[in-house]
Amino acid sequence: MADEAMISLRGVAKNFGGGGQEIHAVQEVTLDIQRGEIFGIVGFSGAGKSTLVRCMNLLEVPTKGQVFVDGVELTGLSKKELNGQRKKIGMIFQQFNLFASRTVLENVAFPLKHSGLSKEQIREKAARLLDFVELGEKKDAYPSQLSGGQKQRVAIARALASDPKVLLCDEATSALDPQTTHSILQLLKKLNQELGITIVVITHQMQVVKEICQRVALMEAGRVVEQGWVYDIFAQPQQEITKDFVASADNSNQLSEVLAETSVRESLGQGARVFRFRFLHTSGGKALVSQISREFGIDLNIIHGNLEMIDGRFLGVLILLAQGDKQAVDDALAYARAQGVNVEELRG
């Protein structure tokens, strides 16, 4: 089946510990990740993201449920068969996990032992992969001689060595600075596009999701609480936790704290209300703010603005301070909503 999902989780649960204090790290997750997509999984620390992704190659054996990768049910395999399937599932980690005793080239060649290739072919392939991740000249260095970004590139090359169909990334960029993060994300994008590898990205940074993912799932307390196209999640977050994460990505997350300050409230004036307007790519290009200000006779003050492209589509965010007759403000908001703007009132 061509339209069958690449990764399919069916009612997957994972408990740790036994007796009285069982931890339900993952609870009843059913999720499909499609062939060729880059899928993000986001959540706060302890939400169960790592546990979930580790269930996808059975580094954690689910307590309950089934895991299918590329049509094969991993949860039903013998140890030997599982090791065979795992070669189709690459994985990279926050801490890189390179073998300190091996050179860069030897690290990349590690998964190729017993692959049927000759020593010479293995060297060639490893060298080719290092070229792909733009580290060809470092092949004889040891990991301790590399920067974090270079280490992650080696880890990626190593994960690619067995020609996987899937790449699992657990916080692969969390130990890196923003610029290096960007270059690693571009590399992931490249191997998604050029090699057609399906990628699962675990992160707590919405920036990462925004930059490379097409779809995203949000996890809280072991459950997937919301999932969808990245654009939709940013444009119309439903759950509280999703709103938090989205706000963290456009820097408006500190706004409610700022608004709670009495001095700020006073300077804003009595009866002022604060709104977040999200202009979707469908909202059209009208001068909506000045229009409603004029037509409904209210004062609108822009205190924060952000404009970006997500997955190739435009999304604008404005934080507005509205002053005027309550009814007029309400009417204005209703009008804006009718124009396809996602309006949300922020309370200090």
Task: Please answer whether residues 206 and 238 qualify as being in contact, where contact means their C-beta atoms are separated by less than 8 angstroms.
Answer: no
CA angle 43, 44, 50 (to 5 degrees): 65
What string marks each residue from 296 to 335 as x (binds ligand ATP by CB under 6 A) or -?
----------------------------------------
Buried b (16+ CB within 10 A) or exposed e, 177-207: eeebbbebbebbeebbeeeebbbbbbbbbbb
Give 219 or 315: the residue with its C-beta nearer to Mg ion: 219
Q: What is the 3-state secondary structure (H, E, C) of 160-206?
A: HCCCCCEEEEECCCCCCCHHHHHHHHHHHHHHHHHHCCEEEEEECCH
Cα–Cα distance measured from residue 322 to residue 329, given in angstroms and rounded to the nearest whole number: 7
Q: Does 45 bind ligand ATP (CB under 6 A)?
A: yes
Pick the closer one to other proteins by CB: 91 or 122.
91
* CB closer to ligand ATP, 13 vs 133: 13
Interaction partner, residue 16 (other proteins, Mg ion, ligand ATP, none; CB < 5-8 Å by kind): ligand ATP
Assess contact for 24 and 13: CB atoms under 8 A: yes
Q: Which does 57 bind (CB under 5 to 8 A by kind): ligand ATP, Mg ion, other proteins, none?
A: other proteins
- DSSP-assigned beta bridge partners for residue 150: none
Q: What are phi and psi of 190, to 5 degrees?
A: -60, -45
Characterize the bridge pairing of strands 198-203 and 38-43: parallel
* 13 bridge partner residues: 64
Stretch that binds Mg ion, among 14-22, 45-53, 280-288, 311-319 (CB under 5 A): 45-53
- Minimum Å gap between C-beta 167 and ligand ATP is 17
Which residue bears the tokens 């960029």?
173
Q: How far is the CB of 12 from ligand ATP (least distance, A)?
A: 12
The vertex-68 CA angle with 133 and 72, nearest 5°, equals 90
Rounded to whole angstroms, the Cα distance separating 65 from 224 reads 15
Of the candidate residues 8, 27, 50, 181, the single one contacting Mg ion (CB under 5 A): 50
Interacting residues of 81 by C-beta distance below 8 A, sequence separation 6+:
none
Q: Could you tell which of other proteins, ligand ATP, Mg ion, none binds residue 152, using a CB distance below 5 to 8 A set by kind?
A: none
Specify the residue, 45 or 263, whose C-beta has the smaller distance to ligand ATP: 45
Nearer to other proteins, 17 or 285 (CB): 17
Query: Which positions from 59 through 118 interact with other proteins, judged by CB under 8 A?
Result: 59, 80, 82-87, 89-91, 93, 95, 97, 99-102, 110-111, 113
Task: Report the C-alpha gap between 169 and 54 in whole angstroms.
Answer: 10
Instruction: Tell me whether residue 97 or residue 238 sits nearer to other proteins (CB atom).
Output: 97
Round the CA-based radius of gyration of the chain to a whole number and report it.
Answer: 24
Judged by CB under 6 A, the chain residues 50 through 69 that form the site for ligand ATP are 50-51
Q: Minimum CB separation from other proteins for residue 78, in Å?
A: 12
Residue 204 touching ligand ATP (CB under 6 A) = yes
Beta strands 215-220 and 198-203 are unpaired
25 binds, among other proteins, ligand ATP, Mg ion, none (CB under 5 to 8 A by kind): ligand ATP
Select 114 or 347, whichever has its Cβ closest to other proteins. Answer: 114
Both structure tokens of 317? 């965010």
197 binds other proteins (CB under 8 A): no
Binding site for Mg ion (CB under 5 A): 50
Which stretches of the chain bind other proteins, using CB under 8 A? 57, 59, 80, 82-87, 89-91, 93, 95, 97, 99-102, 110-111, 113, 142-144, 155, 158-159, 162, 168
The residues binding ligand ATP (CB under 6 A) are 16-17, 23, 25, 43, 45-51, 204
